[in-house]
Amino acid sequence: MISAKTKVCCIIGNPVDHSLSPQMHNAAFKALSLDYVFLAFKVENALKALSGFRSVGMEGIVVTVPHKQAIIKSLDSLDEAARKIGAVNAIKNSHGILKGTNTDWIGAVKSLEEKTILTGKKVALLGAGGAARAIIYGLKKKQAEITLFNRTPEKAESLAKEFGLARTGSLDDINKIRQNEIIINSTSVGMEEDKSPIPAGAVTNQLVFDIIYTPHKTRLIRIALEKKCPVVYGYKMVLFGGTEIFKFFTGLQAPQKIMEKALLKNLH
């Protein structure tokens, strides 16, 4: 029962109506009988929203596109991951002190680690945007060898320089992509249109991870499945990023299976 004591958490984004965070976190709160509720707010001005959240004592805030970077300047503290990635995806309100973190990198690493060991693996990372930054941070922690492939070479080069990566390439360089053991798509290609960011010929026997979770089976994932490659679905990154957020907000171990069930139920 929601009462005056119920702790309120939320997600802010624009748009936000596609978000699965409310279903995932409310299922987890219910499973552990916690007096918490999780809501979604479509927010245009994140800084104004944050000032409101401070005054009403919002317990935790999940942050999604387009606010992940801009909101940083209004927080009281950031952990190392959020600082290095340059974006936050969750904020915890500890007695009026707003602390920012970024769990996207853990989401990506844990998703891949269900299928492989990352240390020393050659990874073709497609894309050089915000999502790529979190993935690079995670893969570097695991000492994977990253080559960054992007449509706009200058963006790949500048990101590679910032994170100390030795190699970059273009999305149509089939031979160079083939030299890797893992392919990760962090571009937005495949979300709106049934397209793959790379030619089918670049996929041979790699582990293929597409961070896009709608549709569940992107064109890239379907190419990989046809070639009998192991695959990692995008919803896993939402799940493992989400279980870390649950721990960050409540201090408790997340009920992972329950959260996964809630996600899958709402994806199909």
Q: What's the rounded Cα separation, in Å, for the pair 262 and 80?
A: 30
List 61's β-bridge partners, or say none.
10, 91
Backbone torsions φ then ψ of 265, nearest 5 degrees: -60, -35
Residues 29-88 that bind ligand ATR (CB under 6 A): none
- For residue 68, indicate whether it is catalytic: yes
- Cα separations (Å) of 124 from 2, 5, 70, 179? 47, 48, 28, 8
Q: What's the rounded Cα separation, in Å, for the pair 185 and 183?
A: 7
* DSSP 8-state code for residue 151: S
Q: Which of 68, 92, 110, 236 is catalytic?
A: 68
List 167's β-bridge partners, or say none.
147
Shortest distance, position 80 Cβ to ligand ATR, whole Å: 20
**Sequence-ordered list of residues with C-beta below 8 angstroms from that of 171, at least 6 positions apart, any chain:** 126, 149, 150, 151, 187, 197, 198
Q: Which of 13, 60, 190, 197 touches ligand ATR by CB under 6 A? A: 197
Calculated CA dihedral for residues 15, 21, 26, 32, nearest 10 degrees = -160
To the question of whether residue 21 is assigned a binding role by annotation, the answer is yes
To the question of whether residue 234 is assigned a binding role by annotation, the answer is yes
Closer to ligand ATR by CB, 152 or 205: give it.
Answer: 152
Q: Which of 140, 142, 151, 167 touches ligand ATR by CB under 6 A? A: 151
Q: Report the residue count for the chain.
A: 268
To the question of whether residue 155 is assigned a binding role by annotation, the answer is yes
Residue of minimal Cβ distance to ligand ATR? 129
**Among 31-39, 49-57, 150-158, 248-256, which window interacts with ligand ATR (CB under 6 A)?**
150-158
- 190 in contact with ligand ATR (CB under 6 A): no
Q: Which two tokens stand for residue 14?
A: 């624009």
Shortest distance, position 94 Cβ to ligand ATR, whole Å: 27
Closer to ligand ATR by CB, 138 or 255: give it.
Answer: 138
Q: CA angle at residue 206 from 204 to 210, to 5 degrees?
A: 110
Residues 95-134 that bind ligand ATR (CB under 6 A): 127-132
Residues 170-189 that bind ligand ATR (CB under 6 A): 186-189
To the question of whether residue 226 is assigned a binding role by annotation, the answer is no
Q: Which residues are annotated as a binding site for shikimate?
A: 19-21, 64, 89, 104, 213
Looking at the annotation, which residues are catalytic?
A: 68
Q: Which residues are annotated as a binding site for NADP(+)?
A: 80, 127-131, 150-155, 211, 234
Binding region for ligand ATR (CB under 6 A): 127-132, 150-152, 155, 186-189, 197
